[in-house]
Amino acid sequence: MIDRSLRPGDPSFVGGHRILTRLGAGGMGVVYLGRTDSGALSAVKVIRAEYALDGGFRARFRREADAARRVDCPWVVRVTGADPDAARPWLATVFEPGPSLAEAVGRHGPLPARAVRVLGKTLARALAAVHAAGLVHRDVKPGNILLAADGPRLIDFGIARSLDATALTSAGMVVGTPGFLSPSRPRGRRPDRARR
């Protein structure tokens, strides 16, 4: 069982969101469940302090948050707000209840073949919308795909990268989850649009 309780040092409010609980944590930050004054639920990713001290990171985060807001697709979580100038930069998206693909397969085993075909087709549409907005996701994996009631959602723009921007990472550093990286990434090549 994952401990989702808030910890000492976790914020109470972030950008107009009352923080309710933790949803998860990764290399770039912590994701919280937040509620706005209007009652809307959001997944609020708060960037780790070491990145917040880097002015270059903030500039790239600003560009990438702006690009992520332009993604228009029902299969990609919608960005609802971001503040790259906050003491701890943050990005909020619509909260989509449902297990991740990794959790669903872990609990119930492989998906039926038809469900896999539908999932693949839907995720291809999601990635096409991400690319059309000028972004490369860089960490598409079962843990970053939510199975909502009306279909899957691609989540976690924490390491998304603008196609025309400099990388968030240092030279030679590979970003993503081993086992789910595109073949170009371990070889140190730049991620780009798929070739036809």
Q: Which two tokens stand for residue 41?
A: 């639920």
83 catalytic, yes or no? no
Burial class (CB in 10 A: 0-12, 13-18, 19+), 196: exposed
**At CA 174, angle to CA 172 and CA 180, rounded to 5?**
155
Are the beta carbons of 66 and 58 closer than 8 angstroms?
no
Phi, psi for 120 (deg, rounded to 5): -60, -45
- Looking up tokens 């960037």 gives 47
Q: How far apart are CA 147 and CA 150, in angstroms?
A: 8
Pick the closest to residue 161 from 174, 142, 146, 148 (CA basis): 174
The catalytic position among 10, 85, 139, 156 is: 139
**The residue type at 14:** V
Which positions are annotated as active-site residues? 139
